Amino acid sequence: MALAQSSDKMSCDWQLSKTSLAERIQFILKSSHWSDCSFCVGREGNSQIFEAHKLILAASSPVFGAMCFGLLAEKNCINVPDLEPQIFNILLEYMYTDSLKLKSIDEASGVLYASKKYMMPHLSCLCREYITDNIRPSNVLSIFEFAESIQETDLFYEPCVQVIRKHTEEVLHLYNGQMSGSFLTTILDQNSLNISELELFETALNWAYLECQEAGFQQTGSNCRAMLDRVGALSKIRFLSLTPEEFSKGPGQSGVLASEEIEALCLALCDIQNKNTSDSNIFDKDWPHSSNEELNCDRNNGNVVLLNTMLKSTLSNKSCLPVNISKTLRRHGLSCVMRPRGRISVPQYYCARRFLKTAVTVSGNLRLLTKVHVSRNIVMTGLRFFTRLTPQCEFTYSQSFPHDYRENIEVCVLDQLGEPLCNTIFSEKVVYNTIATLTLSEPVRFTGDKEYSIHVILPVSTGLTFEYPLSFMSQTERSQDVEFRFCDHADINDNGTFVRRLDMGFLDTIVFSF
């Protein structure tokens, strides 16, 4: 689209076949008819020439206005080496048609960068909305780091952090320490995470190993400590929330702590364990405030250290660390926080479709698709489906009658443009003639008033026939004030064409959260 074309003879009456302004504008974009400016987009060796119209570009962007009609207007082909041709093409289509069709986070990120470059705030808002709606554990790191690169961290911080808090374990296992220092410290700054403190420390240590390797340093304890201190990560680890056993087997043997620090932490952990100072009630009190009793904030590690006067007036002797230990920890930049990080509960809800009647039974080698429309934003985490019918050959009086089998199905969630959002292969033992629950490989956000597709591929095995019940299922349901609309389809001829079939309902329940 909008690529320079050969000067083939065009009908001088092409306008007669276009019934609207939108059609006519789109035609001159695709054909480059009457174009009066050109752009060479992309890096050398992978660039493309685009032809456009100054008036439309200038009306869409003040930057293009200056480039086309300003005092220093460009007269030759304009080089745009910092954009990919695909991104520039989407940008042009938006300026000409007022339509934005994004297919991936990469496209949205590229167009957001372009919209900021050319001062197109309305387009920026659309890109931000798309990115925010599609943040998942598998892309939260790339989105966070992209936001940093274009100075948009504040706008994406909270959506990214929400995903990190709820799915901490999954996020950290996906990246295995391969992240920026700022991303690591952002995780460690959170008071609530769904992961243990020991696993957080192991993640930070693995990150330090990788940083040493990249810098060409030996992966010694002192070098790892230097890497952690450089970004302030070690000061955010809550060593005092560990048990003495966890500390001795993990951080105590890691090599990043000095002997004086290990001794102080061991004494503190034993003191906490013996005196039950980990009782969370002591952290929930309303501390008294007066001119002589103030909070002393350590800005480097974010810990709040109470002055001795407040400690004496509020806590019993067994509710605080010994002064010499707390001083040692603060001197070495280690956290004095004893409270464990909170866990975030993610309630799961279910939207079950009403069973109307069984219609047909089918064998494998069938592709099914259910389109789902939701009235407001949800996060789909799984689904429930009908398991196989018991094979007739198994109807026997034998005591060894098998009640279960290993299911193997593939589920792909697609957006409204047919682009895959999540692919899950389910391979678990399930019981015949029941309903099984499948958990998606990662949560998928559904945006309200948009349609998504759930594509199911039933297993195929040479020489074997697996029978599944397909049924008439309800088309509309409501759960947690969310309206769900379903539409069942099937690829009957195995040619990639899905046709609507009310009698081929396979998806029983949507599992979701908010």
Query: For residue 370, what is the domain's CATH number?
Result: 2.60.120.820
pLDDT value at position 400? 62
- Whether the pLDDT of residue 232 is over 90: the answer is yes
Q: Any residues with CB less than 8 A from the CB of 396 and at least 6 apart, and which? A: none
Rounded Cα–Cα distance for residues 315 and 308 (Å): 10
- 243 class by beta-carbon count within 10 Å (0-12 exposed, 13-18 middle, 19+ buried): middle
pLDDT value at position 480? 95
Q: What is the mean pLDDT of residues 151-178?
A: 93
DSSP E strand boundaries for 35-128:
37-41, 48-52, 78-80
256 vs 359, residue with greater confidence: 256
pLDDT value at position 295? 33
pLDDT value at position 467? 85
Q: Pick the last residue of a domain from 112, 134, 156.
A: 134
Q: Pick the last residue of a domain from 134, 160, 184.
A: 134
Q: What is the mean pLDDT of residues 198-223?
A: 96
For residue 464, being part of any structural domain is answered with: yes
- Whether the pLDDT of residue 80 is over 50: the answer is yes
- Measured in Å, how far apart are the chain's first and last C-alpha atoms? 39
Q: Pick the last residue of a domain from 118, 134, 150.
A: 134
- 49 class by beta-carbon count within 10 Å (0-12 exposed, 13-18 middle, 19+ buried): middle
Q: Where are the alpha helices (DSSP H) in 195-258?
A: 197-215, 221-231, 244-249
pLDDT over 70 for what percent of the chain?
85
For residue 316, being part of any structural domain is answered with: no
pLDDT value at position 361? 76
Give me the residue label for tokens 């002393």.
296
Note the Cα 293 to chain centre separation in Å: 44
- Whether the pLDDT of residue 304 is over 60: the answer is no
267-284 pLDDT tens trace: 899 888 876 544 544 444
The SS3 assignment for 482 reads strand
Give me the residue label for tokens 């190993």.
209
In order of 58, 287, 435, the CA distances from 479 in angstroms are 48, 43, 19
Looking at residue 204, its amino acid is: A
Which letter, b or e, does each residue of 110-149 get, where b requires 16 or more Cβ atoms within 10 Å of its Cβ?
Answer: bbbbbbbebebeebbebbbebbbbbbbbbbbbebbebbbe
pLDDT band at 2 (very low <50, low <70, confident <90, very high): low
Task: Retrieve residue 17's tokens.
Answer: 């076949």
Cβ proximity of 361 and 496 under 8 Å: no
Q: Which helix (H) or strand (E) holds 122?
A: helix 121-133
For residue 374, being part of any structural domain is answered with: yes
Best CA proximity match to 321, nearest among 309, 342, 334, 337? 337
- 203 class by beta-carbon count within 10 Å (0-12 exposed, 13-18 middle, 19+ buried): buried
Mean pLDDT, all residues of the chain: 85
For residue 188, being part of any structural domain is answered with: no
Q: Any residues with CB less than 8 A from the CB of 24 and at least 6 apart, and which? A: 15, 18
Rounded Cα–Cα distance for residues 97 and 19 (Å): 15
The SS3 assignment for 513 reads strand
The SS3 assignment for 137 reads coil
Task: Retrieve residue 403's tokens.
Answer: 């009640």
Q: What is the mean pLDDT of residues 56-84?
A: 92
For residue 313, being part of any structural domain is answered with: no
Read off the CATH number of the domain in which 29 is found: 3.30.710.10
Rounded Cα–Cα distance for residues 454 and 463 (Å): 28
The total number of structural domains that make up the chain: 2
For residue 235, being part of any structural domain is answered with: no
Rounded Cα–Cα distance for residues 395 and 404 (Å): 13
Q: What is the mean pLDDT of residues 65-86?
A: 91
416-443 pLDDT tens trace: 989 999 999 999 999 999 999 999 999 9
Cβ proximity of 99 and 93 under 8 Å: yes
For residue 413, being part of any structural domain is answered with: yes
For residue 31, being part of any structural domain is answered with: yes
Q: Any residues with CB less than 8 A from the CB of 82 and at least 6 apart, and which? A: 117
Out of 97-111, 338-352, 366-380, 394-408, pick the least confident.
Answer: 394-408
4-37 pLDDT tens trace: 444 444 556 777 787 888 888 888 888 888 899 9
pLDDT band at 494 (very low <50, low <70, confident <90, very high): confident
pLDDT band at 252 (very low <50, low <70, confident <90, very high): very high
Q: The domain containing residue 476 runs over which residues?
A: 349-513
Q: How many helices (H) and strands (E) does the chain have?
A: 16, 18
